[in-house]
Amino acid sequence: MAKVTNPLFSIEASGKFADTVVYQKWKGIDFARKFVKPTNANTSGQLQIRGYFKTAIAAWQAEQSAAKLAWNTYAKTNNLAMTGMNVYVGAYCKFLLLHSGTAPTVTNTPPNMS
């Protein structure tokens, strides 16, 4: 990944350019990367993981604000480059993967679920 300043002779750029390079911004940093044509893998494993993500996001949206605050505080106090939702969804998906899709019963104690 290359950091860029004044990409394409402008202040900033985003999107792909001629199917060769993609300009993006991540956490305030402009960068460029090689364009890679995305594939849509519909293997059973990929579909299972997509389902886990869907379940985890729905669980986050259903959480009480106290639990969301705990996860956001955990992410911030540990200087993680992500939000509490990102940490929560990652932990939730990992739990589902390790427990054959069975949802955790306790989710408001970052970084662990049980």
* CA dihedral of 58, 61, 62, 66, whole degrees rounded to 10: 140
pLDDT at 26: 76
pLDDT at 34: 83
pLDDT digits (tens, 9 = 90+) for 11-50: 666 677 777 788 887 777 777 888 888 788 789 999 999 9
Given a contact cutoff of 8 angstroms between Cβ atoms, the answer to whether 8 and 22 are in contact is no
Given a contact cutoff of 8 angstroms between Cβ atoms, the answer to whether 2 and 31 are in contact is yes
pLDDT digits (tens, 9 = 90+) for 44-81: 999 999 999 999 999 999 999 999 999 999 999 999 98
Q: Is the pTM of this model over 0.85?
A: no
pLDDT at 84: 95
